[in-house]
Chain A
């Protein structure tokens, strides 16, 4: 098994530059001074809250991009 599937092994065993996309969300949400403010508020929701909720969605999209870019 280890000899025949070399092509696929390389897909997952090697580093992919696409993984760097993950770093963006770490920086975006783990540095509170970026977003600890009321303004700009959106529909009455302070920035602090809608910014982080928005990053849930962006994070999911980034993960999906990495999935499609690295998986077969």
Chain B
């Protein structure tokens, strides 16, 4: 770790320089008035099928994903592959529900999920719950992108003692903050195109070159310990690893498009058709993610974990070092530079979109709703720009001063929290049957139960639920969203009886073309 890999570092910096220029130049792309919030924060809703594909792909399949999923395969084996069924089942959900959400948001100029909930259910406190959940779930996600960046910077031998070691990270983040501030969503949209091409090159190179070096897939898989190769068969009276695998996949899929940054990507599309087409095209990324999960096994087979030159990296970054170590081991330095730049830039794209999404939420659903009810368009856009800076700065402070393990815990909890907005957002797209106060109580119960189960399960997302001698160690998010729904359904007639209902600002025709 002591030696800086200059060739890799030079290429890394050159590519970073290029996307920095691109990020600023993007302000002039499909030019719009960046003093309007929907221009800055949604790119003017003008992205067609192809740009949406790059943007949403770059947004959902993050740098952290590309480091952490192979790292999980490297450390825990088959369970890491849950990312594949997860990213298979999200697309029917995207296809069916989200064009409806796009149409209603387009019609009413909504730019966040909370805007929609405010209009649909007429309850500012329910909208506030959706807003706060979104911001809380997004913050650690931004911090995790920095973990991905940290790992590749460290892997190139750039290190320093104390806080000086974080200097490259701080520089990368200032760049990110500056072009997001000036160009809004256009910056990550244009950079996503470069980033995704680099990521595809990096992934396919690994999947072709490394198996040839190691003597074929047969040899690679025979090097994987049998216990890691498949899911453990469940013991009697328990759903075991099967239940964990399937519920993690399903629960994560239900949660994914409720995240503010996913919705920002979707709402920036130019039409509902663009979203439907993308539901068939985005699995391209899922396939690559599956291949990258296998790269974790390549790293096992190549034995990078026991090579002395990587000992320092594994000590510092744990299994997250598996992928960088494999690239350093298997490829010439110039290609390592490209691969690491792909991962590093891959961190900036989602981080930019997440900070924009959080800024849109604060500006629209907290500031405008509770503090300054009649801002000018310019004031509103300016507020969002400032908030995007604050959000990113907060994530940076978090990652520099707090052990990264806490960001990982918070992100796992974030999935459990964000799914609690499913009844009001995802089901709200289909039905107005629920009472707004019942939804709020359901949300509160789901959030409290989810947080308690997460803590009770020692900060893991799987809670061993025991029912009549059977154990279901499944994904907490799924349990608690069901609880949330049951509470909401039971309380809806009660609250309707007590206080009547708010009016719905949307009509049925708003939900399709």
Residues of A within 8 A of B (CB): 1-2, 5, 8-9, 11-13, 19, 22, 25-26, 29-33, 36-38, 41, 43-46, 48-49, 52-53, 55-57, 59-60, 63-64, 66-67, 71
Contact of B78 among A11, A48, A53 (CB under 8 A): A48
B230–A37 touching, CB < 8 Å? yes
User: Can you list 29 A-B contacts (CB < 8 A)?
Assistant: A1-B509, A2-B509, A5-B513, A9-B509, A12-B99, A12-B513, A13-B508, A29-B88, A29-B89, A30-B250, A38-B229, A44-B217, A45-B217, A46-B229, A48-B78, A48-B229, A48-B230, A56-B87, A57-B283, A59-B283, A60-B91, A60-B281, A63-B91, A63-B92, A63-B95, A66-B95, A67-B277, A67-B280, A71-B273
Complex CA distance for A25 and B94, rounded to whole angstroms: 14
Which residues of B are found within 8 Å of A71, using beta-carbon distances?
Answer: 273, 276
The one of A9, A33, A63 that contacts B280, using a Cβ cutoff of 8 Å: A63
Bound Cα distance A46, B223 (Å):
13
Given contacts A60-B280, A63-B279, contact A53 B287 (CB under 8 A): yes
Question: A56 is contacted by which of B99, B273, B287 (Cβ under 8 Å)?
Answer: B287
B contact set with A: CB distance below 8 Å:
78, 81, 84-85, 87-89, 91-92, 95-96, 99-100, 216-221, 229-231, 233, 241-242, 245-246, 249-250, 272-273, 276-277, 279-281, 283-284, 286-287, 290-291, 294, 507-509, 511-513
A54 to chain B, nearest CB (A): 10
Interface contact B249-A30, CB-CB below 8 Å = yes
Report yes or no: B216 in contact with A52, Cβ–Cβ below 8 A. Answer: no
Asked whether A67 lies within 8 Å of B95 as measured between CB atoms, the reply is: yes
Known: A46-B221, A63-B92, A67-B95. A52 touches B85 (CB 8 A): yes
Are A36 and B81 interface neighbours, CB within 8 A?
Answer: no
Query: Judging by beta carbons under 8 Å apart, are B89 and A26 in contact?
Result: yes
Closest residue of A by beta carbon distance from B272 = A12
In the complex, what distance in Å separates the CA atom of A12 from the CA atom of B233?
43
Least distance between A34 CB and chain B CB atoms (Å): 10
Q: Closest CB of chain B to A12's CB: distance in Å?
A: 4
CB nearest neighbor in A for B95? A63
Which residue of the partner chain, among B91, B281, B284, B290, contacts A52 with CB atoms under 8 Å? B290
* A66, chain B: closest CB distance, angstroms: 7
- List chain A residues, Cβ under 8 A from B88: 25, 29, 52, 55-56, 59
Whether the pair B221, A29 counts as a contact (CB closer than 8 A) is no
Nearest to A42 among chain B residues (CB) is B217
A52 touches B92 (CB 8 A): no
The chain A residue with its CB closest to the CB of B86 is: A29
Residues of A with C-beta under 8 A to B291: 53
Q: How far is the CB of B277 from chain A (nearest CB, A)?
A: 7
Chain A residues contacting B78 (CB-CB under 8 Å) are 36, 48
Cα A11 to Cα B286 with chains together (Å): 29
The winner among B89, B219, B220, B245 for most chain A CB atoms within 10 A is B89
A67 to B511, CA, bound (A): 18
Give the complex CA separation of A26 and B294 in angstroms: 22
